[in-house]
Amino acid sequence: MRMLRLLLLPAAAVGVALTIGAAQAQTKITIGKVLSGNGFHIPTYVAMDRGFYKEEGLDARFIMLTGGALVKAALSGNIDFVPIPSGGAQAALSGAEIRYVVGSSLKSQWLIAVRPDINKATDLKGKTIGYGRQGAADYDEGAAVMLRAFNMAPGKDYKVISFPGETERIAALINGDISAGLISVAHAPKAINAGMKVLLRTGDYIQRAGGTVWARKDFVDQNPETVKKFVRAIAKAVMYFRDDRAGSIPILRNHLGIDNDRDAGIVWDQVHNTFGAEIPPNLFRQILESRRKTMIAAKQWAADKPLPDPEQFITRNLLDPTLKEMKYVPTKLDAPTN
């Protein structure tokens, strides 16, 4: 019996060594997550909850902060991957060495919710719409759709009240202080359950590379295999979310703070086919161009200074071959209405 135990000891030791080796094989990474979650970042949540990071050998954890704080933390080396494309664009145009590694949302995700008496966009003439801060996506994208599609300009054809948060916009809508409010898809159930209705989706008019993930250039240069694993995890998440409604609902509830399956289903129905791991050149250029215009207005960029080649900020040599190798199926987007 003693001899048997002695013979078993090496086998047990090998088993322990293999377990330790497997644990050590997991590469630790950190990923930025905005407080309360964000619809543009859903693939990063799916990859976490469905185990796609782990499947790729990544020991991933979220670091939760505000959007601006996440950008600063990523630039200082305290976060590896961050899905804040506009903040990254300003940093890149200001000289920061960053690289975009994988895509996320390919469409604008804002909705214009209205009171029950509003039936079409032109009914909002002379009325008041609640937007976010001017210069931010929750102002600019609503104003852009109203102008391009319906020839209605803010301040001229309708009044604007800026609210810092979507909850405040919904409350003002319910109270009758405004006739319409620009809200994200994640907040749509709250407005609908309160008797409001969705007038239009900005994504039907604007394609936008929201949530595109970037990292510091030195991190990418030093860890190309880790970046490839991250790309694969996000691509798997995009394809999973695109097709699996039932499996996606708990993830939406978990990360976007949605109360029930019905409301999470509403969100999935609106956005499940709007994500892509690819980074379309035209949509990516718009991120930088939009930020360049903002910097010109703030006198941080010369008006006659052209936009640099956007492709220099993308790791195409890692992204495109990785997606091809894993037989990733690109997203087919409907053409914008206008």
Residues 125-167: pLDDT tens digits? 999 999 988 767 788 889 989 998 999 999 999 999 998 788 8
Mean pLDDT of 98-107: 95
Residues 232-289: pLDDT tens digits? 999 999 999 999 999 999 999 999 888 899 999 989 998 899 999 999 999 999 889 8
pLDDT of residue 8: 47
**Which residue is listed with tokens 């999470």?**
264
Residues 311-334: pLDDT tens digits? 999 999 999 999 999 999 998 766
pLDDT of residue 21: 46
Q: Does 302 score more than 90 pLDDT?
A: yes
**Which residue is listed with tokens 């749509």?**
188
Distances (CA, A) of 188 to 164, 209, 291: 17, 21, 27
**Model confidence band, residue 185 (pLDDT cutoffs 50, 70, 90):** confident
Mean pLDDT of 110-134: 94
**Which residues, 6 or more positions from 164, have their beta carbon under 8 angstroms from its beta carbon?**
132, 133
Task: Go through the chain and tell me how many residues it has.
Answer: 338
Residue 215 φ then ψ, to 5°:
-145, 165
**Which residues, 6 or more positions from 59, have their beta carbon under 8 angstroms from its beta carbon?**
26, 27, 28, 29, 53
pLDDT of residue 133: 80
Task: Check: CB of residue 147 under 8 Å from CB of residue 205.
Answer: no
Mean pLDDT of 69-83: 96
pLDDT of residue 3: 46
**Model confidence band, residue 9 (pLDDT cutoffs 50, 70, 90):** very low
pLDDT of residue 147: 92
Question: What does the block give as tokens for 328?
Answer: 């990733």
pLDDT of residue 335: 52
CA distance 5 to 7: 5
Residues 210-219: pLDDT tens digits? 899 999 999 9
**Which residues, 6 or more positions from 124, have their beta carbon under 8 angstroms from its beta carbon?**
114, 118, 146, 152, 157, 158, 179, 180
CA distance 116 to 62: 40
Tell me the sheet residues that pair with 29: 60
Closest CA to 248 of 266, 259, 264: 264
Within 10 A of 258 (CB to CB), how many other CB atoms are there?
23
Decide: pTM greater than 0.85. Answer: no
**Model confidence band, residue 10 (pLDDT cutoffs 50, 70, 90):** low
**Model confidence band, residue 336 (pLDDT cutoffs 50, 70, 90):** low
Residues 21-57: pLDDT tens digits? 444 579 999 999 988 788 889 999 999 999 999 999 9
**Which residue is listed with tokens 């209405």?**
337
Task: Check: CB of residue 230 under 8 Å from CB of residue 101.
Answer: yes
**Which residue is listed with tokens 């008006």?**
303
Task: Check: CB of residue 263 under 8 Å from CB of residue 193.
Answer: yes
Mean pLDDT of 292-301: 88
Q: How would you classify residue 247: left for phi > 0, otherwise alpha for psi between -120 and 50, otherwise beta?
A: alpha
- Domains in the chain, please, with CATH? 25-107+208-325 (3.40.190.10), 110-204 (3.40.190.10)
